[in-house]
A and B are shown apart, each in its own frame.
Chain A
C-alpha cells in the first residue's frame, strides 16, 4: 500500500491594525459590527478622479512582520494593480504588490509534536488593500465597503508543510508572532486573519507536485487543521481508487466538516497585473529597516528561551506559555504581582487551561477571564505560605475563575485557612474512629488499605482544610494506640 504525505502551503491574509486605511484617511472599523458604509470616502469608494496616498504606518507594520519572519527587505517596493470585476472591489482593481513585494525569502521555525523543529520557508510578504463585503439576500446583494481599503498583509509560504498538524503548528506560531508584533489581533472569526491552505498529496519519498486544491472559509485554526486533514484524506482516497484530483477552490463546511467545491479552475486567472502608476516606487532605506528591527518586541522563541533560562521552566511549559501573546502577558503579569514562576506556570497550564477548555474559550482570550493574574499570584502565595493547602487552592481557583474576587479576602471570610492545630485535628480524628467502628476493627485485623478510607473520612470531616501530613500522622498514632489496647 502506498503511504502518502501532504504537500501544503499556506497563504495568510492579515489585516494590519492601523488607525486609518491603506490609501485614504478613513478609520479602520470592526467590519462585523460597524454600520455599513460609514467608514468610507471618495478614495476607498473608487469614485472618479481620486488618488491613493500610501499609509506609511501600514508599511512599517508590514516591515515588522517581514523582519520577524527573517525575510530580506528589498530596497524598493512597487505597488501593482490586480484587475478583476466584483462589486466588493470598488475600483475594479486591487492595489497590491506583484513583482516587487515588501519582503522575500524568510523562514519560520515550528515545533512538531514529536519534539523536532521544522523550518518553513516564507516565499513573500506583501502589502495590499482589503476588499469590501457582500451580503447575499434573495434576489439581490448588499455591498458594505467599510472594509474596502483596509491594509492587508499577505504572507505566503513555500509548500513545506506535510500534514494537518504541521499546518496547524505553523498557523499558531504565525498568529502568535502577529499578535506579539501588535499588528493583528489574530481573530479569525472576525475575518481579520484569514488562512487558506493549498493542498496536494504524493507518495512519501517522491518529490513530484500533483494537482492542488485551495481551501477557503476557515474561521479558526481548528478548522484549518480539520479541513487540511479531511482534504488530504479525500485526495488520497481519490488516488487510491484510480482517480485524479481536480484543481479547484474548495470551501470548508464547518457544520458538516467536509470540503465542497466552490469553483473549478479551468485555466489560471488572468489578473493583468501592471505597476500602479498612481503611486511612486517606494524606497525602503536601510536606516528605516534597522529602526524597525530595533523596535521589535521579544518574540515567542526568544521569550521561551528566557523563561527556560531565567525561570527554570521546562521547554514544554515555556512553549505553552509563549504560544499566545495573551497567555504570555497574563503569565508575566502574575509574576510581576509576586507569583512564583513555576507554581504560576503549573496553575496556568493546568487548572486554568482546563477551565478555559471546558468553557470553549480560546487561549488568546485569557485576558477576559474573571481570575486576574494578580489573584492567581496571591493564591499561589497563600499556598506557599502554608495558609491553605493545594487541595483548597484548586477549589478556590475554580471559584475565582467563575466568579472572580480576591483570594486572600475569600480565605479569611470563609475560614478556609489550613487547620494545623493538633488538638483540633485530633478531636476530629477521634470522632471519625468512633463513627466507623467496623472499618477500624477490620483495619486492626490486617486490612491495611482501609487506612486510606479513614484518612479520606478525616479530611472530609476537616472540610479539606486539615494539613494532610498532620492528619496522616495523628491518624496513625490513634490507630496504633487502639491496637495496643
Chain B
C-alpha cells in the first residue's frame, strides 16, 4: 500500500518514477476518508488543493526537478497559518478566520515540493496534552480509539500513526510534539529554540514555541527539518547560522557516543512498562557501542512549576489580540467592554481561560517578582543543568512521558494530572535544546512507549543520528495500529 511507505521511501520512489505524486496523494486522501471518521485527526482536508499540488509536483518530477520533498503529502497542525485556507488554532474564537499569509516553515516546505493534505486537530491554542481541549472535536489514538493521542499536536501524530500521511508538522511548547509522538508510536523532533522560524505559528508561549516534525522514522523527520530550518528575517528569534545537512548526519554510528541518563527522570509515578522499555532502549545504545553513564539534572523537579508560570504569562499577552475587533467572531452585544467580555468568554475554552488567568496573575503587580521573575531565574538554572550535562555527554536519554496513552476523559477534570503528562518534556523546552522522540516498545495494553533523545542547543544532528541509529536496529517504529489496515 502506498500509505505504508515512509516519507523517505516515498521520496525515493517518486524520484525514480516508480510512483506518482498524484497516486500517493490520492492514496492518502482515500485513507483519510476511510479512517479519519473514527480517528478525527483532521479539522479540514484540503483535497482540491492537494490534488492540484500533486499534479504540479508530477510535472516538476517529469522535468527532473529534484526539490527535496517533491510530491510528499503532509498533514499540518492547525496552529500554522495557511494563506487562503482557514486556520483556527483549535479555537472557536478563530472560527472562519482565513489568514492572508503562510507560515515561513510551510512556505519552505511547499517550495520544496511538499503537498498539504489538510489541517490537523489540536488542543485550543496548543494548550493541552490530549487534544481534548480542541474547540471542535476530540482526536482518538489510532492504537486504541478510547484513548487520547496526546497533545497538543494530537491530530498530526494520529494522522502519521494511522498512515493518513507519511509526515506531519506539529508545534511544541512544552512537549506538544514529543508527547503525542510517544503516545501514538511515531517519531518526532522538536528543534532547538530559534532553529525554525515561528512566523505564522499562532503563538502560545513565544519563548518556548517551536515547530517540529513528525514521521514514521527519525530519518523522515530529518528530511522535513532540513527544509524548514534556517534564519528567517521575519522572526528575530530565529538564529542566523546555516543549519547542517541533517540527512547526511545520519551515519548509523553511535560508537563512542556519550549517552547520559539523568537519575531525576526515573521517578515514582512512572509506569513500570514505560521504565522497562526505556531502560531496554538505553541498553540497546550500550550494545551499539555508546558510552552510557548516569548523570544529574538537579533542577528537573522545578520544571513543571517554572513552565506553568512562564508559558501562561506569555500566553496571557499573546491571546489578548483575540478580541473580535479585527477578525474572528464578535459577540453581538452593546458596548465596548461587554463586546470584549462576551466575545472572549464565548470564544475561549476552559483550559485557555485557566491559563490566561494563571498568567495574568503571575504578571500582576505585587506577584511578578515572586512568580514570573522567580520562574525566569529557575529557568536559567534548568538551562545551566543542561549546559553542565552536555560538557560530559553528547545526548541524554529519558522516557518521553511517564505513562502511555490515557483514556479520553480520564484527566480532563484534573488539570494537574494532565500537566504531569508533560513532565519529562518540559525542561528541554525551558532550556531551548533539541529533543526527539522515537518509539521504543509497548506496554501490556499494546500501547506505544516513547524514548526521548535530548541534545545540546543547535545540535539536532547528533540527536537525529542517535535516534536513526537506534531505529536501524529496532523495529518498534514499523509496527502499525490495526486501524491503519482498514480501507
Contact = CB atoms under 8 A, between A and B. Distances in A.
Do A and B originate from a single complex?
yes
Interface in A271-285: 272-274, 277-280
B206 interface: yes
Given A51-B198, A51-B199, A54-B236, A46 B206 contact: no
Contacts, number: 108
Interface in A241-295: 268, 270, 272-274, 277-280
A51, A92, A278: residue with the most chain B Cβ atoms closer than 10 Å:
A51
Contacts of A191: none
A304 interface: no
B326 interface: yes
B336 interface: yes
Contacts of A92: 317, 319-321, 323
Interface stretch (A83-91, A360-368, A388-396): A83-91
Given A42-B99, A279-B236, A280-B237, A49 B200 contact: yes
Nearest to B337: A85
Contact of B321 (A90, A143, A273, A280): A90
A207 B395 CA distance: 63
Nearest to A81: B317
A48 B198 contact: no
Contacts of A273: 363
B317 A274 contact: yes
B365 A268 contact: yes
Contacts of B97: 48
Contacts of B200: 49-50
Nearest to B373: A274
Contact of A48 (B89, B233, B365): B89
Nearest to A272: B363
Interface string B221-245: 0000000000001111100000000
A398 to B, nearest CB: 54
A315 B198 CA distance: 58
Given A272-B316, A272-B360, A51 B234 contact: yes
A182 interface: no
A91 B321 contact: yes
A143 B325 contact: yes
Given A51-B234, A87-B336, A277-B207, A46 B321 contact: yes
A280 B235 CA distance: 10
Contacts of B317: 81, 83, 91-93, 272, 274
A51 B200 CA distance: 8
Given A91-B321, A277-B206, A45 B234 contact: no
A141 interface: yes
A278 B206 contact: yes
Nearest to A88: B325
Contacts of B80: 49
| Interface size band for B | 35 or more
**Overall SS of chain B's interface:** loop
A92 B277 CA distance: 47
Given A83-B320, A87-B323, A274 B368 contact: yes
Interface in B198-213: 198-203, 205-207
Interface string B110-128: 0000000000000000000
Nearest to B335: A139
Interface in A421-475: none
A193 B322 CA distance: 30
A52 B236 contact: yes
Given A90-B326, A92-B317, A268-B365, A53 B236 contact: yes
B364 A270 contact: yes
Nearest to B203: A49
A280 B201 CA distance: 18
Nearest to B339: A87
A48 B372 contact: no
A273 B369 CA distance: 12
Interface string A35-70: 000000010011111111110000000000000000
A48 B87 contact: yes
B313 interface: yes
Contacts of A277: 205-207, 237, 314
Contacts of B321: 46-48, 90-92
A42 B198 contact: no
B340 A85 contact: yes
Contacts of A46: 321, 326
A431 to B, nearest CB: 82
A85 B202 CA distance: 19
A56 B194 CA distance: 21
Contacts of A85: 320, 323, 340
A47 B199 CA distance: 11
Nearest to A85: B340
A91 B94 contact: no
A53 B340 CA distance: 28
Contact of B99 (A48, A51, A87): A48
Interface in B109-150: none
B100, B200, B320, B372: residue with the most chain A Cβ atoms closer than 10 Å:
B320
A90 B323 CA distance: 9
A93 B320 contact: yes
Contacts of B372: 274
B363 A87 contact: no
B364 to A, nearest CB: 6
A49 B236 contact: no
Contacts of B100: 42, 47
A274 B81 contact: no
Contacts of A272: 316-317, 360, 363-365, 368
B327 interface: yes
10 contacts: A42-B100, A47-B326, A48-B81, A48-B322, A85-B320, A90-B326, A272-B368, A274-B372, A277-B237, A277-B314
Closest 5 CB pairs of A and B: A92-B320, A277-B207, A272-B363, A277-B206, A48-B202
Given A83-B317, A83-B320, 14 more contacts: A48-B81, A48-B203, A48-B321, A49-B200, A49-B202, A50-B200, A53-B235, A91-B320, A92-B320, A272-B363, A272-B364, A274-B372, A277-B205, A278-B203
Interface of B: 79-81, 87, 89, 94, 97, 99-101, 103, 198-203, 205-207, 233-237, 313-314, 316-317, 319-323, 325-327, 336, 340, 360, 363-365, 368, 372
